[in-house]
Structure 1
Amino acid sequence: MRSYQIYWIGEEFAHYFYGREQNFFQLFFESSTSQKSEKNVVEKQIQYITKEFSLRSLASILKEALMDKESFAVDKNNCFTIELPEKKGKAVLSAEEKCLHLRAKGSYEAETVFFSSLKKLNACLFAVDFESKNYGWLEPIKKENLFK
């Protein structure tokens, strides 16, 4: 099973660290593995660079994008599920204030549907998969060219 954590990075930090995303990965990784004394400092850094998700906005965007799909379901705890036909794959998205959790198995199509829908929420969403050490923006951030 694949597992992702998705964070909403503040725009100023997203632009500053564009091209150096491994710094975000390292920070989030340290949060999950640090000892208690170090963890407080790392958690404060994460709180500073991330924004809170509006569960209402998240639910609205996902319902609007996915309600017409037979395989989409929402439970009362705001857990969103996509199950592909013939049990080819399944993905479940749950939300906390500062982090979305996406668990997927089978085909990559189910998680791709979530990623595509979440892009509409904000361009500064950063996904991390600690197990396979994958990370990146859901939608690449465009860097402005100040000198023409």
Structure 2
Amino acid sequence: MRSYQIYWITEEFAHYFYGREQNFFQLFFESSCGESEQQKIIEKQIQYITNRFFVSQVRELLSEALSARSWFNIQNDHFFRIELPDNKGRAELFADEQCLYLKASGSYESEAIFFHSLKKMKAYLFAVDFKRKNYGWLEPIKKEILFR
């Protein structure tokens, strides 16, 4: 099973750390496995560089994008499920204010559907898969090129 945590990075830090996403991965990884006074500092850093999710906004966005699909359902205000036909793939998304938790199995299509829908937030969303050490933006950041 593939597991992701999705964070909403503030615009300032998304642009500042563009190309150095390893720093985000390291910070989130340390927050997931540490237990100490340093853990409190890491949590404060994460709170400083991330925006909080409005669960109602996530629910509205996913409902608008996917509610017409028979394989999508909303379990409660925080929990969303995709079960593709013929056991092709399955994904579950749990929405929390701090981050979104996505678990998927089978075809990558089920998680891609969630990723594609979340892109419509027009936010700097950064996904982390600690088990496979994968990470990246749901939508690449567009860098402005200024000519002088």
TM-score range, shorter chain: over 0.9
Q: What is the CA-CA distance between 1:75 and the residue it aligns to?
A: 1.3
2:93 matched residue in structure 1: 93
Q: Return the letter of the residue paired with 1:147.
A: F
Which runs of 5 or more structure 2 residues have no equivalent in the other structure? none
TM (norm. structure 2) is 0.97
Instruction: State the 4+ residue runs in structure 1 displaced beyond 2 angstroms.
Output: none
Over the residues paired in the alignment, what is the CA RMSD in angstroms?
0.9
2:145 matched residue in structure 1: 145
List per-residue Cα deviations over 1:57-105 (Å, max 9, x = no partner). 1111100110111100001242100001011110000011110000001
Q: Which moved more, 1:34-43 or 1:90-99?
A: 34-43
List per-residue Cα deviations over 1:88-127 (Å, max 9, x = no partner). 1100000111100000011000000000000001330000
CA distance in 2 between counterparts of 1:76 and 1:95 reads 10
CA distance in 2 between counterparts of 1:61 and 1:2 reads 23
1:119 matches 2:119: yes
List per-residue Cα deviations over 1:17-53 (Å, max 9, x = no partner). 0000000000000001123221001000000000010
CA distance in 2 between counterparts of 1:36 and 1:122 reads 35
Kept in 1: contact 2:7–2:100 (CA 8 A): yes
CA distance in 1 between counterparts of 2:18 and 2:147 reads 18
Which runs of 5 or more structure 1 residues have no equivalent in the other structure? none
2:78 matched residue in structure 1: 78
